[in-house]
Amino acid sequence: MPKPFNTLTATAAPIMRSNIDTDVIIRIERLVGNSIRGTLGKWAFGSLRYLPDGSENPDFILNREPYRQAEILVTGPNFGCGSSREGAVWSLQEMGIRAVIGSGFGDIFFANCFQNGILPVVVDKVVVDSLAADIEATQGAGKVSIDLEAQTIVSPSGARHTFEIDPRRREGLLKGLDEVALTLQRDDEIRAFQASDRAARPWIHFARTPASRTSA
Amino acid sequence: MKKTGRTMLAKIWDQHVIARLSEDTDLLHIDRHLLHDLGGSRGLLDLKSKGLKVHNPELTFATPDHAISTAHGRAGTSKIGQELLAALRVETTASGIAMFDVDQPGQGIVHVIGPELGLSLPGATIVCGDSHTCTHGGLGALAFGIGSSELTHVLATQALIQRRPKTLRARFEGKLPLGVTAKDMILALIGHIGAAGGTGHAVEYAGSAIRELPIEGRLTICNLSIELGAKIGMVAPDETTFEFLRGRPYAPQGALWEQAVKAWRELPSDPDAVFDREVVIDVTKIIPQVTWGISPEHVIGVDGRIPDPKAVDDPARRAAIETALDYMGLQGGAPIAGTPVDWVFIGSCTNSRLSDLRAAAEVARGRKVAAGVRAWVVPGSENVKREAVAEGLDKIFTDAGFEWREPGCSMCLAANGEVVAPGQRSVSTSNRNFVGRQGPRARTHLASPASAAASAIAGAIADVRMMGR
């Protein structure tokens, strides 16, 4: 069940390159296995964060103070595009990120954020650019505040921006709702749908067979 | 008042609404759920840890593809890959989920086997924990990739909470020139509207060039929808679709088939349906495409020149090009053709079907892979492999110096340890040229199977139209 998200005032790091895909956020070999949760934080942005010899890349923003403490990322266009790997969100979460602010995100990454209590905020590119400029003007010392209830962002300069968010998803984050549990409360509706759909589209619904592995 | 026409997306969507949750969000029934070795057992274990059971195991199907080796005998599958395979066997068996196991007909890349087995059907909702699930839209399905949490949600409920996307119709008009393929069509579209051009949209591919395409080409087109930001891509089902599906193991048979086809004929968008956005591509102007950078939108015609950052005024765009060229080890302004390559990979859910292998074999027949180039052919499924062998394609490839391998995802994403070495350059028929996608610091150029085969022979990025066939 995701942790509720309400307000956050934290260090924010601008990572403004376009099209940072989820492969760049977390490499696939870190995700091969069933016991990976809790191991991913140090591998987030691996190809940007570490040099080929494994040492930290001093040029990468999250390797610099105060950005190491960042809980908010301000991102370039199309952040989180590509692979559906939820490990991208897990790795950000495990390195302490709780919100991402950008002009647009990969659709699947965006959905995965909500599933984990991470707030993705979509605002106009001019707002993203001005936030990044305000943060850089304070060398990262100025905090960014997000209020999900009020749907506002306050930049280090004091500039206040509002943002839009799907009311359902907002409520889910505010309360830390568990979607599986909520949907299971509608199981009667699911079963009723299946019964009538079986009559309408019988080719979709297979008979349930005993547990076995099959070939075709 | 005249009722406005409906899009195919709206028709399929509305058929699957179990409950309306808000103005634009619905609880949708999921007709097919495909599991693979990378996330399948994890999802089933997650479900178990929550004390829940699989809601509809008979609508759920599993196969290993991501983490298994594609070497003969699956030699070289890592310890963790073997553990994932074993866990998939145990957990699917325990839940009553059908699994197509290694060496069995039916095994293969999930997005190859769904259509091949007739699991993927027009009008069906199909999900999988893999972003290239959009592939199945080539048959007129509403198919999209999901994350791990949504995967668990589908296992537990056979339903998913989804916000209705906007619609984009991409019309490909005209007759495809010789040597130009479905892969080139979709790469050209990505180059035209960008890697975020379809974000938040479901794309319907239409137009005369789509109607002319066989199903495998339509699957390739839909496969790359996610590379233009759209998690859903679809093509209206037609006679070509029905002929493709007729007689497949999981497709309806007899009277049920007739009933299904009748329903499927109602699915295409109405002539007066309105899309939120529309793009038209003249396919007669498309030439074979190849990527030069680190996003699929970094794409040009194979006769073109690599963008020169010095010629770009916008500082952000200039910096993006410089970053890409630095990673790729390329010179801005130079012709892309003739760039020497170390690797050629023919495979992946984009381009590993029989017609892809035939197109590559046509170029490879009687020729030799250039010295110093390693070239792999990885069929998309066990059935594709067997059909290709029956036609002698494997022999054409091995005679030419290609390595013929077992089905799986392999070097598309290198989850099984099959990687392009750091700094090496690969021409790949896969879908992503992302930083490190084919291995740390590997450099990937996306292209069609014919172009990839031509590049293997030439030892450099090559224009297949110059190969004289």
Task: Write the pLDDT tens digit of every residue in A36-85.
Answer: 999 999 999 999 999 999 999 999 999 999 999 999 999 999 999 999 99
* Whether residue B260 is found in the same domain as residue B298: no
The percentage of chain B sitting over the pLDDT mark of 90, rounded to a whole number, equals 98
Residues B218, B247: one domain? yes
Q: B226 with B331, same domain?
A: no
Alpha-carbon distance of A2 to A169, in angstroms, equals: 12
List the B159-163 sheet strands across, edge first: B17-20, B25-29, B159-163
Residues B307, B396 within the same domain: yes
CB B423 within 8 A of CB B260: no
* Alpha carbon of B365: minimum distance to chain A alpha carbons (Å): 32
Nearest to B216 by CA among B249, B245, B188: B245
SS3 of B341-406: CCEEEECCCCCCCHHHHHHHHHHHCCCCCCCCCEEEECCCEHHHHHHHHHHCHHHHHHHHCCEECC
CB burial readout A189-209, b (16+ within 10 A) else e: ebeebbeebeeebebbbbeee
Query: At residue A211, does pLDDT exceed 60?
Result: no
CB burial class (10 A; 0-12, 13-18, 19+) of residue B257? Answer: middle
CA distances from B169 to B79, B86, B426 (A): 45, 43, 32
Residues 243-282 of B with CB under 8 A from A: 249-252, 256-257, 259-260, 263
pLDDT digits (tens, 9 = 90+) for B154-169: 999 999 999 999 999 9
Say what the pLDDT of residue B2 is.
60
Across the range B111-134, mean pLDDT stands at 98
Q: Per-residue confidence at B347, pLDDT binned at 50, 70, 90? A: very high
> What average pLDDT does this structure show over B333-342?
98
Domain co-membership, B295 together with B273: no
> Does A78 contact B29 at a Cβ distance shorter than 8 Å?
no
DSSP string for B155-192: HHHSEEEEEPPEEEEEEEESPPPTT--HHHHHHHHHHH
pLDDT at A213 over 60: no
Residues of A in contact with B314 (CB under 8 A): none
Residues 59-78 of B with CB under 8 A from A: 59, 66-67, 78
> For residue B263, what is the enclosing H or E element?
helix B254-264
Q: Which of B29, B59, B144 sits opposite A206 (nearest CB)?
A: B59
- Chain A hits for B158, Cβ within 8 Å: 190, 194
- B190-207: average pLDDT: 98
Residues in B touching A211 (Cβ below 8 Å) = 57, 93-97
Residues B121 and B15 in one domain: yes
Contacts of B92 in chain A (CB under 8 A): 213
Is the Cβ pair A33, B417 closer than 8 Å? no
Q: Chain A contact for B117, CB < 8 A?
A: yes
**For residue B369, what pLDDT band results from cuts at 50, 70 and 90?**
very high
At B2, list the tokens.
């005249």
Q: Rounded to 5 degrees, what are φ and ψ at B229? A: 95, -10
d(CA B158, CA B165): 20
Cβ atoms of A27 and A43 closer than 8 Å: yes
On average, the pLDDT of chain A sits at: 95
A36 CA: distance to closest CA in chain B (Å): 10
Q: A216: which chain B residues are within 8 Å (Cβ-Cβ)?
A: 100, 105-106, 117, 249-250
Question: Which of residues B277, B299, B334 is at a domain's end?
Answer: B277
> For residues B462 and B455, is the Cβ–Cβ distance under 8 A?
yes
CA distances in angstroms from A131 to A5, A207, B316, B368, B469, listed in the order given: 21, 56, 16, 56, 56
- In angstroms, the CA B316 to CA A14 distance is 14
| CB count in 10 Å sphere of residue B83 | 18
Q: How close, in Å, is residue B24 to chain A by CA atoms?
A: 9
In a domain, B22, yes or no: yes
Residues of B with Cβ-Cβ distance to A208 under 8 angstroms: 56-58, 96
Q: Is residue B269 part of a domain?
A: yes
Task: Delimit the domains of chain A by residue range.
Answer: 7-177
Looking at the domain assignment, is residue B283 inside a domain? no
Contact call for residues B160 and B149 (beta carbons, < 8 A): no
Whether the predicted model's global pTM rises above the 0.80 cut: yes
- Last residue of one domain, picked from the residues B244, B277, B310: B277
Tell me which DSSP letter residue B18 carries: E
Q: Report pLDDT for B469.
A: 65
Chain B partners within 8 Å of A184 (Cβ): 52, 156-157
Q: Which residues in A lie closer than 8 A to residue B40 (C-beta atoms)?
A: none
Domain extent, residue B265, equals 8-277
Q: Does B430 touch chain A (CB under 8 A)?
A: no
User: Is residue A215 very low, low, confident or very high in pLDDT (cuts 50, 70, 90)?
Assistant: very low
Which of chain A's residues have a Cβ under 8 Å away from the Cβ of B246? Answer: none
Residue B1 reports pLDDT greater than 80: no
Q: Is residue B1 part of a domain?
A: no
pLDDT in tens, A1-45: 788 999 999 999 999 999 999 999 999 999 999 999 999 999 999
> Strands B343-346, B425-428: parallel, antiparallel or unpaired by DSSP?
parallel
Is there a single domain that holds both residue B193 and residue B69? Answer: yes
Tell whether B343 is covered by a domain.
yes
Together in a domain, B178 and B295: no
Please determine, looking at this structure, whether the domain spanning A7-177 carries the CATH number 3.20.19.10: yes
| Overall average pLDDT of the B27-43 stretch | 98
pLDDT of residue B428 exceeding 70, the answer is yes
- Are A201 and B263 a contacting pair at CB < 8 A? yes
CA–CA separation, A152 and B215 (whole Å): 48
Tell me which residue of B77, B4, B3, B2 sits closest to B273, measured CA to CA: B4
> In terms of domains, do B204 and B352 share one?
no
Q: Do B105 and A32 touch (CB under 8 A)?
A: no
One domain for residues B249 and B335 = no
Interface test with B, best of A84, A197, A204 (most B CBs within 10 A): A84
* pLDDT interval class at A214 (50, 70, 90): very low
- Backbone phi, psi, residue B57, to 5°: -60, -25
Q: Kindly determine whether residue A21 and residue B441, on different chains, have CB atoms separated by under 8 Å.
A: no
Mean pLDDT of B457-468: 94
Q: State how far residue B436 is from chain A, nearest Cα, in angstroms.
A: 8
- Mutation target among B266, B294, B435, B443 for the A interface, most CBs of A within 10 A: B435
Nearest CA in chain B to A207: B58
| Partners of residue B80 in chain A, C-beta under 8 Å | 32-33
Considering only the beta carbons, identify the residue of B105, B149, B294 that sits closest to A215.
B105
Considering only CB atoms, B229 lies closest to which of A87, A107, A183, namely: A107
Q: Are residues B265 and B149 in the same domain?
A: yes
Nearest to A213 among B42, B93, B159 (CB): B93
B284 located within any domain: no
- Chain A positions in Cβ-Cβ contact with residue B443 (cut-off 8 Å): none
The interface residues of chain B toward chain A in range 360-379, judged by CB-CB distance below 8 A, are none
By the CB < 8 Å criterion, does B86 face chain A? Answer: no
Candidates B95, B127, B153, partner chain A, best to mutate (most A CBs within 10 A): B153
Assigned domain for B215 exists: yes
**Averaged pLDDT score across all residues of chain B:** 97
| Percent of chain A surpassing pLDDT 70 | 96
Q: What percentage of chain A's residues is helix, strand, coil (to nearest 5)?
A: 40, 15, 45
Percent of chain A with pLDDT over 90: 94
Measure A142 CA to nearest chain B CA, in Å.
24
CB-based contact B94 A211, cutoff 8 Å: yes
Degrees (nearest 5) of the Cα angle B163, B167, B172? Answer: 150
A45 CA to chain B: closest CA distance, Å?
11
Residue A212 has pLDDT above 70, yes or no: no
Position of tokens 């060039």?
Answer: B209
Statement: residue A216 has pLDDT above 60: no
The domain that holds B431 is classified in CATH as: 3.30.499.10
B210 plus B243 within the same structural domain: yes
Q: What is the pLDDT of residue B3?
A: 72
Identify which of A23, A33, A179 has the shortest CB distance to residue B80: A33
Q: Does the residue B37 lie in any domain?
A: yes
pLDDT bracket for residue A210 (50, 70, 90): low
Radius of gyration from C-alpha coordinates of chain B? 21
Q: Supply the DSSP string of A181-215, one letter for each residue.
A: HHHHTTHHHHHHHHHHHHHH-GGG-PPP--S----
Query: H-type helices in B8-147, by residue range?
Result: 8-15, 40-49, 79-95, 110-117
